[in-house]
Amino acid sequence: MKTIEVCCTGNHGRSPLMELKAEMVLRELGLTRKYEVISTGTRVAELRSGVIPYQDQEKIVNKAIERGDIYNSCECLYLLDNLGKVQDLGAYWKKALDQFIREEEENRHIAVKHFSLEGMIKPFSQQTVPRAGVVLVLASDPKNRDRASDIYSTSRYSPLITTVAEYATNDPDARIEGSLGGKRETFLSMCAVLLDYTDKAIRRTVKEFS
């Protein structure tokens, strides 16, 4: 049994949908006894611990300020005065992230129906770790590809690690825009591209790793 691993950041929005799509393609091809699919997140452990770099906290907070519906006026004034001055944005970035994740959870369930995906989204998130039997890691974007490469570099396992966009298109510059904190329409548009690339990538995988 060969394992295909799909990963994003938190194993919450993108990679669970990639997992469902990949499993559908394998069932269509009659290859579920030869291949299995798992989904993981390269920063699950970090996000659970609440310890992430300040620059990442700041990106989340800035997105929330830009939206205008996460913080009250006093919070916004404090943040606008203190961004870049404090060492930790503490509860502010967590408040925004929690809201973004709730929305992402709602959106992914809508995406399952919208794109007629079969199966159930797993009810938990898994950290990306080196795993035996993994022949290919398909990351949602270059940053997660690089983090997955760093993770596997500490082990004796050496799967091919690439982005789903590059593997599906053979274009090293192919990208899928992120949608965390964005509108539902943005999320669904991202999913349309992500799932199309996942379909193409899995069909290529079974030819190259047969």
Read off the amino acid at residue 156. R
Summarize pLDDT for 70-97 with one digit per residue, the tens.
Answer: 999 999 999 999 888 887 788 999 999 9
Q: Alpha helix (H) ranges present in 34-183?
A: 44-49, 54-67, 73-82, 90-114, 142-153, 164-169
DSSP state of 131: -
What is the model's pLDDT at position 102? Answer: 95
pLDDT, average across residues 32-41: 98
Q: Per-residue pLDDT tens for 10-28?
A: 999 999 999 999 999 999 9
Query: All domains of the chain, ordered by start, with CATH?
Result: 2-47+125-208 (3.40.50.2300), 50-104 (no CATH)
Answer yes or no: pTM beyond 0.75. Answer: yes
- Does the structure show a pLDDT above 80 at 105? yes
pLDDT digits (tens, 9 = 90+) for 132-163: 999 999 999 999 999 999 999 999 999 999 99
The region of weakest confidence among 12-16, 49-53, 163-167, 184-188 is 49-53
Judged by DSSP in three states, 69 sits in coil
Whole-angstrom distance, CA of residue 107 vs CA of residue 130: 30
Q: What angle is formed at CA 133 by the lines to CA 127 and CA 137, rounded to 5 degrees?
A: 55
- C-alpha 29 chain-centroid distance: 25
